[in-house]
Amino acid sequence: MASLDWNVILTQLSAEQTLQLKAYSLVKQVGSTNEMALQEFCRKDNLPAVCFAESQTHGRGRNGRCWVSPESQNIYMSVAWRFKSGIEILPALSLAVGVVIADVLNSYGLDVSLKWPNDIQVKGKKLAGVLLESQVKVSGEVNLVIGVGLNVYMPDMDALNIDQLWTDIVREKNSINDLDRNEMAGKLLSAIMCLCSGYEKTGFASYRQKWLDYDVCSGVEVQLIEAGKINTGQCLGINEKGALRVLIDGDEQIFYAADVSVRVSA
Ligand code: BTN
Protein backbone atom coordinates (compact mmCIF):
# COMPACT_ATOMS: atom_id res chain seq x y z
CA MET A 1 0.00 0.00 0.00
CA ALA A 2 1.30 3.51 -0.84
CA SER A 3 2.94 5.47 1.98
CA LEU A 4 1.04 8.25 3.67
CA ASP A 5 1.68 11.53 1.89
CA TRP A 6 0.68 14.82 3.50
CA ASN A 7 0.18 16.56 0.14
CA VAL A 8 -2.32 13.92 -0.95
CA ILE A 9 -4.07 13.96 2.42
CA LEU A 10 -4.41 17.75 2.12
CA THR A 11 -6.35 17.46 -1.15
CA GLN A 12 -9.34 16.24 0.90
CA LEU A 13 -9.44 19.37 3.09
CA SER A 14 -11.29 22.55 2.19
CA ALA A 15 -9.20 25.69 1.67
CA GLU A 16 -10.53 26.97 5.00
CA GLN A 17 -9.52 23.79 6.82
CA THR A 18 -6.04 23.89 5.29
CA LEU A 19 -5.57 27.42 6.62
CA GLN A 20 -7.05 26.49 9.97
CA LEU A 21 -4.44 23.81 10.75
CA LYS A 22 -1.53 25.30 12.71
CA ALA A 23 0.70 22.23 12.58
CA TYR A 24 0.93 18.65 11.41
CA SER A 25 3.32 15.79 11.68
CA LEU A 26 3.55 12.61 9.67
CA VAL A 27 6.11 10.17 11.02
CA LYS A 28 7.20 6.67 10.18
CA GLN A 29 7.05 5.43 13.75
CA VAL A 30 5.97 6.83 17.09
CA GLY A 31 5.04 5.44 20.51
CA SER A 32 1.49 6.76 20.23
CA THR A 33 0.13 9.53 17.99
CA ASN A 34 -2.13 10.57 20.88
CA GLU A 35 0.89 10.99 23.16
CA MET A 36 2.74 12.90 20.45
CA ALA A 37 -0.23 15.21 19.87
CA LEU A 38 -0.54 15.84 23.63
CA GLN A 39 3.16 16.67 23.99
CA GLU A 40 3.83 18.47 20.73
CA PHE A 41 0.59 20.31 20.11
CA CYS A 42 -1.59 20.50 23.24
CA ARG A 43 1.16 21.26 25.73
CA LYS A 44 2.57 23.96 23.42
CA ASP A 45 -0.91 25.29 22.62
CA ASN A 46 -0.22 24.86 18.94
CA LEU A 47 -3.75 23.98 17.82
CA PRO A 48 -5.56 22.78 15.77
CA ALA A 49 -3.06 20.20 14.61
CA VAL A 50 -2.87 16.61 13.44
CA CYS A 51 -0.42 13.79 13.77
CA PHE A 52 -0.22 10.70 11.53
CA ALA A 53 2.11 7.74 11.91
CA GLU A 54 2.80 4.72 9.72
CA SER A 55 3.22 2.60 12.86
CA GLN A 56 2.95 2.88 16.63
CA THR A 57 5.04 0.96 19.15
CA HIS A 58 2.68 1.70 22.06
CA GLY A 59 -0.66 2.44 20.40
CA ARG A 60 -3.24 3.10 23.11
CA GLY A 61 -6.74 1.71 23.16
CA ARG A 62 -9.67 2.26 25.50
CA ASN A 63 -9.73 0.69 28.95
CA GLY A 64 -5.94 0.34 29.11
CA ARG A 65 -5.80 -1.94 26.07
CA CYS A 66 -3.09 -1.60 23.46
CA TRP A 67 -3.92 -0.83 19.83
CA VAL A 68 -2.09 -3.15 17.45
CA SER A 69 -0.38 -0.79 15.00
CA PRO A 70 1.80 -2.50 12.37
CA GLU A 71 3.60 -0.48 9.72
CA SER A 72 2.18 1.07 6.55
CA GLN A 73 -1.12 -0.78 6.44
CA ASN A 74 -3.59 1.06 8.61
CA ILE A 75 -4.43 4.61 9.70
CA TYR A 76 -3.26 6.01 13.04
CA MET A 77 -4.30 9.63 13.42
CA SER A 78 -4.64 12.10 16.29
CA VAL A 79 -6.38 15.44 15.86
CA ALA A 80 -5.66 18.08 18.53
CA TRP A 81 -8.27 20.80 19.11
CA ARG A 82 -9.09 23.43 21.72
CA PHE A 83 -12.61 23.60 23.16
CA LYS A 84 -13.66 26.61 25.19
CA SER A 85 -16.68 24.84 26.71
CA GLY A 86 -14.84 22.59 29.15
CA ILE A 87 -14.81 18.87 29.81
CA GLU A 88 -18.55 18.37 30.20
CA ILE A 89 -18.95 18.29 26.41
CA LEU A 90 -16.52 15.38 25.98
CA PRO A 91 -18.67 12.27 26.60
CA ALA A 92 -21.19 13.21 23.91
CA LEU A 93 -18.52 14.59 21.58
CA SER A 94 -16.81 11.21 21.65
CA LEU A 95 -20.02 9.64 20.30
CA ALA A 96 -20.32 12.32 17.61
CA VAL A 97 -16.78 11.42 16.48
CA GLY A 98 -18.02 7.86 15.94
CA VAL A 99 -20.87 9.17 13.78
CA VAL A 100 -18.67 11.20 11.43
CA ILE A 101 -16.19 8.32 11.06
CA ALA A 102 -19.03 5.90 10.31
CA ASP A 103 -20.35 8.32 7.66
CA VAL A 104 -16.94 8.45 5.94
CA LEU A 105 -16.48 4.66 6.03
CA ASN A 106 -19.99 3.99 4.75
CA SER A 107 -19.30 6.31 1.83
CA TYR A 108 -16.79 3.61 0.79
CA GLY A 109 -19.59 1.05 0.58
CA LEU A 110 -18.99 -0.49 4.00
CA ASP A 111 -21.84 -1.36 6.35
CA VAL A 112 -20.51 0.14 9.55
CA SER A 113 -22.37 0.36 12.84
CA LEU A 114 -21.53 1.80 16.26
CA LYS A 115 -21.32 0.17 19.66
CA TRP A 116 -21.46 2.55 22.60
CA PRO A 117 -19.60 4.70 23.15
CA ASN A 118 -17.74 4.79 19.83
CA ASP A 119 -16.58 1.36 18.67
CA ILE A 120 -16.79 1.24 14.91
CA GLN A 121 -17.84 -2.23 13.84
CA VAL A 122 -18.86 -4.31 10.88
CA LYS A 123 -21.11 -7.24 11.87
CA GLY A 124 -19.86 -7.19 15.45
CA LYS A 125 -16.18 -7.04 14.52
CA LYS A 126 -14.13 -3.98 15.37
CA LEU A 127 -12.93 -2.01 12.34
CA ALA A 128 -11.86 1.21 14.04
CA GLY A 129 -11.54 2.72 17.49
CA VAL A 130 -11.56 6.21 18.96
CA LEU A 131 -9.64 7.34 22.03
CA LEU A 132 -10.11 10.85 23.44
CA GLU A 133 -7.43 12.25 25.74
CA SER A 134 -7.45 15.76 27.14
CA GLN A 135 -5.55 18.42 29.04
CA VAL A 136 -7.72 20.80 31.03
CA LYS A 137 -6.35 24.34 31.27
CA VAL A 138 -6.58 26.62 34.29
CA SER A 139 -9.10 28.69 32.33
CA GLY A 140 -11.35 25.61 32.08
CA GLU A 141 -10.71 25.28 28.35
CA VAL A 142 -9.81 21.81 27.13
CA ASN A 143 -7.06 20.82 24.76
CA LEU A 144 -8.43 17.62 23.32
CA VAL A 145 -6.81 14.85 21.31
CA ILE A 146 -9.09 12.69 19.20
CA GLY A 147 -7.18 9.54 18.32
CA VAL A 148 -8.48 7.30 15.56
CA GLY A 149 -7.17 3.88 14.65
CA LEU A 150 -8.58 2.33 11.46
CA ASN A 151 -7.75 -1.19 10.30
CA VAL A 152 -7.26 -0.89 6.55
CA TYR A 153 -5.20 -4.04 6.11
CA MET A 154 -4.11 -5.99 9.17
CA PRO A 155 -1.51 -8.69 8.43
CA ASP A 156 -2.48 -12.07 9.94
CA MET A 157 0.71 -12.24 12.02
CA ASP A 158 -0.03 -8.90 13.70
CA ALA A 159 -3.68 -9.83 14.17
CA LEU A 160 -2.59 -12.60 16.54
CA ASN A 161 -1.99 -9.84 19.10
CA ILE A 162 -5.53 -8.44 18.92
CA ASP A 163 -7.63 -9.50 21.91
CA GLN A 164 -11.09 -8.82 20.48
CA LEU A 165 -13.11 -9.66 17.38
CA TRP A 166 -11.71 -7.50 14.56
CA THR A 167 -11.89 -6.87 10.87
CA ASP A 168 -10.29 -4.59 8.29
CA ILE A 169 -11.36 -2.82 5.12
CA VAL A 170 -9.54 -5.17 2.75
CA ARG A 171 -11.34 -8.18 4.26
CA GLU A 172 -14.72 -6.44 4.22
CA LYS A 173 -14.39 -5.31 0.62
CA ASN A 174 -12.59 -8.46 -0.56
CA SER A 175 -10.13 -6.29 -2.41
CA ILE A 176 -6.99 -4.28 -1.94
CA ASN A 177 -7.52 -2.43 -5.23
CA ASP A 178 -9.05 1.04 -5.33
CA LEU A 179 -8.18 1.58 -1.65
CA ASP A 180 -6.42 4.90 -1.27
CA ARG A 181 -5.22 5.24 2.33
CA ASN A 182 -4.28 8.89 1.79
CA GLU A 183 -7.71 9.80 0.47
CA MET A 184 -9.36 7.96 3.35
CA ALA A 185 -7.08 9.63 5.92
CA GLY A 186 -7.85 13.04 4.39
CA LYS A 187 -11.60 12.44 4.42
CA LEU A 188 -11.47 11.33 8.07
CA LEU A 189 -9.41 14.37 9.03
CA SER A 190 -11.74 16.73 7.18
CA ALA A 191 -14.84 15.18 8.78
CA ILE A 192 -13.37 15.43 12.28
CA MET A 193 -12.28 19.05 11.71
CA CYS A 194 -15.76 19.89 10.46
CA LEU A 195 -17.28 18.30 13.58
CA CYS A 196 -14.90 20.11 15.94
CA SER A 197 -15.38 23.51 14.23
CA GLY A 198 -19.14 23.45 14.68
CA TYR A 199 -19.59 21.39 17.82
CA GLU A 200 -19.63 24.17 20.39
CA LYS A 201 -22.56 25.72 18.48
CA THR A 202 -24.49 22.62 17.46
CA GLY A 203 -23.80 20.38 20.47
CA PHE A 204 -24.74 16.72 20.40
CA ALA A 205 -28.38 17.26 19.40
CA SER A 206 -27.69 17.16 15.69
CA TYR A 207 -25.68 13.90 15.99
CA ARG A 208 -27.86 11.99 18.46
CA GLN A 209 -30.42 10.53 16.03
CA LYS A 210 -27.69 9.57 13.59
CA TRP A 211 -25.80 7.82 16.40
CA LEU A 212 -28.99 5.90 17.31
CA ASP A 213 -29.45 4.91 13.66
CA TYR A 214 -25.96 3.35 13.68
CA ASP A 215 -26.34 1.82 17.17
CA VAL A 216 -26.18 -1.96 17.53
CA CYS A 217 -27.24 -2.08 21.19
CA SER A 218 -30.64 -0.35 21.38
CA GLY A 219 -33.36 -2.78 22.45
CA VAL A 220 -30.80 -5.53 22.93
CA GLU A 221 -29.71 -7.32 26.12
CA VAL A 222 -26.28 -6.11 27.20
CA GLN A 223 -23.78 -6.88 29.92
CA LEU A 224 -22.18 -3.92 31.68
CA ILE A 225 -18.79 -4.53 33.20
CA GLU A 226 -17.95 -2.11 36.00
CA ALA A 227 -14.92 -2.69 38.22
CA GLY A 228 -15.08 -6.44 37.63
CA LYS A 229 -18.83 -6.57 38.40
CA ILE A 230 -21.23 -7.63 35.63
CA ASN A 231 -24.78 -6.27 35.36
CA THR A 232 -27.24 -7.43 32.72
CA GLY A 233 -30.05 -5.32 31.31
CA GLN A 234 -31.90 -4.13 28.25
CA CYS A 235 -30.27 -1.25 26.42
CA LEU A 236 -32.56 1.75 25.86
CA GLY A 237 -30.17 3.87 23.77
CA ILE A 238 -28.49 7.06 24.96
CA ASN A 239 -29.54 10.28 26.67
CA GLU A 240 -28.84 13.81 25.43
CA LYS A 241 -25.40 13.73 27.06
CA GLY A 242 -24.37 10.52 25.32
CA ALA A 243 -24.67 8.37 28.46
CA LEU A 244 -26.05 4.84 28.08
CA ARG A 245 -29.60 4.10 29.30
CA VAL A 246 -30.12 0.55 30.51
CA LEU A 247 -33.17 -1.12 32.05
CA ILE A 248 -31.98 -3.25 34.96
CA ASP A 249 -34.55 -5.11 37.09
CA GLY A 250 -37.25 -2.67 35.95
CA ASP A 251 -35.23 0.47 36.75
CA GLU A 252 -33.61 2.73 34.18
CA GLN A 253 -29.96 3.32 35.02
CA ILE A 254 -27.50 5.67 33.35
CA PHE A 255 -23.89 4.71 32.61
CA TYR A 256 -20.90 6.80 31.57
CA ALA A 257 -18.19 5.47 29.27
CA ALA A 258 -15.39 6.21 31.73
CA ASP A 259 -16.92 3.77 34.23
CA VAL A 260 -18.15 0.77 32.28
CA SER A 261 -17.62 -1.32 29.19
CA VAL A 262 -20.44 -3.03 27.34
CA ARG A 263 -20.84 -6.48 25.83
CA VAL A 264 -23.79 -7.48 23.71
CA SER A 265 -25.16 -10.65 25.39
CA ALA A 266 -24.70 -13.80 23.28
C1 BTN B 1 -10.16 1.75 21.16
O2 BTN B 1 -9.67 0.97 21.96
O3 BTN B 1 -11.26 1.50 20.64
C4 BTN B 1 -9.49 3.03 20.80
C5 BTN B 1 -8.34 2.82 19.87
C6 BTN B 1 -7.67 4.11 19.44
C7 BTN B 1 -6.41 3.86 18.66
C8 BTN B 1 -5.86 5.11 18.08
S9 BTN B 1 -4.57 4.80 16.93
C10 BTN B 1 -4.20 6.50 16.87
C11 BTN B 1 -4.32 7.03 18.28
N12 BTN B 1 -3.07 6.86 19.00
C13 BTN B 1 -3.18 5.99 19.99
O14 BTN B 1 -2.25 5.65 20.75
N15 BTN B 1 -4.43 5.53 20.06
C16 BTN B 1 -5.28 6.13 19.05
pTM score of the predicted model: 0.96
The residue ranges of the chain whose pLDDT is under 50 are none
Which atom belonging to ligand 1 lies closest to the Cα atom of 65?
2
Ligand 1 center–CA 131 separation, angstroms? 5
Closest residue by Cα to atom 15, ligand 1, is 60
Q: What is the pLDDT of residue 228?
A: 82
Determine whether the shortest distance from the Cβ of 32 to ligand 1 is under 6 A: yes
Question: For position 109, what pLDDT does the model report?
Answer: 93
pLDDT per position as a tens digit, 128-163: 999 999 999 999 999 999 999 999 999 999 889 988
Q: What pLDDT, on the 0 to 100 scale, is given for residue 17?
A: 98
Segment 30-68, tens digit of pLDDT:
999 999 999 999 999 999 999 999 999 999 999 889 999
Ligand 1 atom nearest 119 alpha carbon: 3
Report the atom number in ligand 1 closest to the C-alpha of 148.
Answer: 8
3-state secondary structure string, the chain?
Answer: CCCCCHHHHHCCCCHHHHHHCCEEEEEEEECCHHHHHHHHHHCCCCCCEEEEEEEECCCECHHHCECCCCCCCCEEEEEEEEECCCHHHHHHHHHHHHHHHHHHHHCCCCCCEEECCCEEEECCEEEEEEEEEEEECCCCCEEEEEEEEECCCCCHHHHCCCCCCECCHHHHHCCCCCCCHHHHHHHHHHHHHHHHHHHHHHCCHHHHHHHHHHECCCCCEEEEEECCEEEEEEEEEECCCCCEEEEECCEEEEECCCCCEEEECC
Residue 195 Cα, ligand 1 centroid: separation in angstroms? 19
Catalytic residues: 62, 126, 263
Compute the distance from residue 67 Cα to the ligand 1 centre, in Å. Answer: 6
